[in-house]
Chains A and B, each alone.
Chain A
Amino acid sequence: MVIPTPLLMMLSPIVVFLLGFLGEEMKIEKLREGAAVVMSAVSVAAVYMLYLMLKSTPDGILLFHLQAAPPLGACFEIDMLGILMAFSVTLLTFFATLYSVKYMEHDTRLTEFYTLLAAMSVGMMGVAFAGDLFTLFVFWELMCIASYVLVAFRKDLWGPIEAGFKYFVMSALGAAVIFFAMAFLYGMAGTVNFAQLSDALRGQPLNMWLYMVFGMLVVGFGIKSAIVPMHTWLPDAHPEAPSPISALLSGVVIATGLYGLTRVLFLTFDPGMFKLPIAFLAVLTMTLGNVMALRQSDIKRLLAYSSIAQIGYMLVGLAAGTAYGVMGLFLHVFNHSIMKGMAFLASGSIAHETGTRDIKSLRGVGKMMPLTSLCLFIALLGLGGVPGTNGFISKYHLFSAAFGSGLGWLGIMGVLNSALSMAYYLRIMQVLLASPDEGFKAKEAPVLMVAVTLVMAVLIVFLGVWPAPIIGFATAASEALVNGLSTFIGAVLG
């Protein structure tokens, strides 16, 4: 079968690299930035085209493979869930690329930067579209390798190198553990294709090997999605990366880890089996994330700890184990990608203009950078779950899913944590609004950076007031994963 046109956007890193190289050689300013922005916009359009293609199929799954049919060959199996993930990824990549044009203009080696940015985005899309464990692993490594280099991109400073090395060791260990677990899944089922794997393993009596595989999957994917106690790399790596990269890492890379975990767990195990361990991890993750965030003085580090807490909320949806819970999970993934991405971009603008990330020395920035601060406020209110923002909608669905599936204590813990998190969000707002110290000056960020954050702020409020379309999208995605499993298997095995 031929590869359809929309999937050709997976070649975008190559295009960005070639055009960037050409631009450097021919001294055409801005060719690489132009190429990067256009390619990321094309990716969003391509995901939309795939969405339309998927809509017109009868069984809700698109199957693409290069040579051999699925049992042997590697393939893409695109369902609504994959489209939703890919949509979050491409949308945030587009915003981050647009923001980088101004933010990174004084850095060198920008061709490499934009190529890696595109490669990371393609890696995440590939993970979302993968139809077998092998494809998933290859794109996983593409995403990982690009993100290691991007975290340590400013190699002349010691901070990014130290953070990058910690991130590298943890994350490479995670990938190796996932690979080890895949080997055992392959050993038990004789295949790596998702549909056949599910056909062979789901509903089987649990034995020692399945428990071992479960543990390894949780550890391996958990390292990437920063589930406590595998989170130690995140508070170092996310603040030290350049701001657009922090936005992508916090917004979608950790969510991709969660996507992988959700996908493989639902394919291999019954929800009854993994409910309690995941619920336990969820409570641990959100509590530790919130408590540690309270004591931070660096604004980006605070946001990084807040990401850990948000991963805890998302795990609530997985622990619920129902289609409704998974709907809440992926609704929150999408909303969180916009909110946290924007919070990192706005705090990046502030750090860019004032030259500091220390919260105490940011007194009065709200008066000097009104638009950026307004955006940051909206993002923080959304992260705290204030009604009227999209964060409220998805948290509401997550916690009511927990109540609905008999895990009331988990829902209560979530609500309490959500209230606790407002403490540190409000502290940032209070500092920004305080009257400035003598002699402290900053001006509003460049127009392009402000425009990107403003558009994202409008999205947050818009999806908070009128959430129907994205809820419908997320419901279709969760139905495809949880209830549509037999359709999925039938469509692939034919």
Chain B
Amino acid sequence: MNDAVYLTAIFALFSIGFYCLAVKRNMIRILLGIEIILNAGNLAFIYFASLHSGGGFVDPLGQSIVIMSIILGGCVIAVGLSLVVYAYKHFKTMDVRKLRRLKW
């Protein structure tokens, strides 16, 4: 029962993130989509850590990875947001579909 709930939540988060990336036009929403996918990975690590428990404790490895991953995710999104600020200065819009001046 529990397993199915967690796995559903993991894949739901992943799909929501992917949907967000594919459909949304706003740059900040796209960054949120990336963050949601990262969080799907985090949740998966937490869930699998509970499966690999030993001696009444969950596996600390999975949880420590998640803490580092949250930090890294924060760094990545900070860089992304600064890019959005500059993109807004140049293009005067938050719509990613306007960012196609570079030709094929």
Binding site for B on A (CB under 8 A): 72, 134, 137-138, 141, 144-145, 148-149, 152, 155, 158-159, 161-166, 168-169, 172-173, 175-177, 179-180, 182-184, 186-187, 190-192, 235-236, 240, 292
Given contacts A161-B83, A168-B80, is CB(A179)–CB(B69) below 8 Å?
yes
Q: Which residues of B contact A159 (CB under 8 A)?
A: 101-102
- 27 A–B pairs (Cβ distance < 8 Å), ordered by A: A72-B60, A134-B65, A134-B68, A141-B72, A148-B79, A148-B83, A152-B83, A152-B86, A158-B90, A162-B87, A163-B102, A165-B27, A165-B87, A166-B99, A168-B79, A172-B34, A176-B38, A179-B69, A180-B41, A183-B44, A186-B45, A186-B61, A186-B62, A187-B48, A192-B61, A192-B65, A292-B104
Size band of the interface chain B makes with A:
35 or more
Give me 13 other A-B pairs in contact (C-beta within 8 A), A158-B101, A169-B34 excluded: A72-B61, A138-B68, A144-B76, A148-B79, A161-B83, A162-B101, A162-B102, A165-B80, A173-B34, A180-B44, A190-B52, A235-B104, A236-B102
Min C-beta distance of A226 to chain B, whole Å:
15
Q: Is B84 part of the binding interface, using a Cβ–Cβ cutoff of 8 Å?
A: yes
Bound together, the chains give a CA A165 to CA B91 distance in angstroms of 12
Bound together, the chains give a CA A34 to CA B75 distance in angstroms of 29
Min C-beta distance of B44 to chain A, whole Å:
4
Bound together, the chains give a CA A240 to CA B26 distance in angstroms of 23
Bound together, the chains give a CA A96 to CA B79 distance in angstroms of 24
Q: Which residues of B contact A158 (CB under 8 A)?
A: 90-91, 101
Per-residue interface assignment for chain B, residues 69 to 104, with 1 indicating a CB less than 8 Å from any chain A CB and 0 otherwise: 100100110011001101100110000100111101
Bound together, the chains give a CA A182 to CA B66 distance in angstroms of 12
Min C-beta distance of A147 to chain B, whole Å:
10
Query: B87, A145: Cβ atoms under 8 Å?
Result: no
Query: A183, B37: Cβ atoms under 8 Å?
Result: no
Min C-beta distance of B75 to chain A, whole Å:
6
In the complex, residue of chain A having the shortest beta-carbon distance to the beta carbon of B77: A172
In the complex, residue of chain A having the shortest beta-carbon distance to the beta carbon of B54: A190
Neighbour of A179 across the interface among B38, B47, B60, B102, CB < 8 A: B38
Query: A180, B75: Cβ atoms under 8 Å?
Result: no
Bound together, the chains give a CA A141 to CA B48 distance in angstroms of 23
Min C-beta distance of A306 to chain B, whole Å:
15
Neighbour of B44 across the interface among A169, A175, A184, CB < 8 A: A184
Given contacts A137-B69, A152-B86, A190-B52, is CB(A183)–CB(B59) below 8 Å?
no
Query: B83, A183: Cβ atoms under 8 Å?
Result: no
Across chains A and B, which 5 residue pairs bring their CB atoms closest together, nearest first?
A187-B48, A183-B44, A179-B41, A176-B37, A158-B90
Bound together, the chains give a CA A138 to CA B68 distance in angstroms of 8
Per-residue interface assignment for chain B, residues 43 to 58, with 1 indicating a CB less than 8 Å from any chain A CB and 0 otherwise: 0110110011000000
Query: B99, A162: Cβ atoms under 8 Å?
Result: yes
Bound together, the chains give a CA A145 to CA B99 distance in angstroms of 21
Min C-beta distance of B63 to chain A, whole Å:
11
Bound together, the chains give a CA A158 to CA B104 distance in angstroms of 16
Query: Which of B27, B60, B61 has most A Cβ within 10 Å?
Result: B61
In the complex, residue of chain A having the shortest beta-carbon distance to the beta carbon of B27: A165
Min C-beta distance of A179 to chain B, whole Å:
4
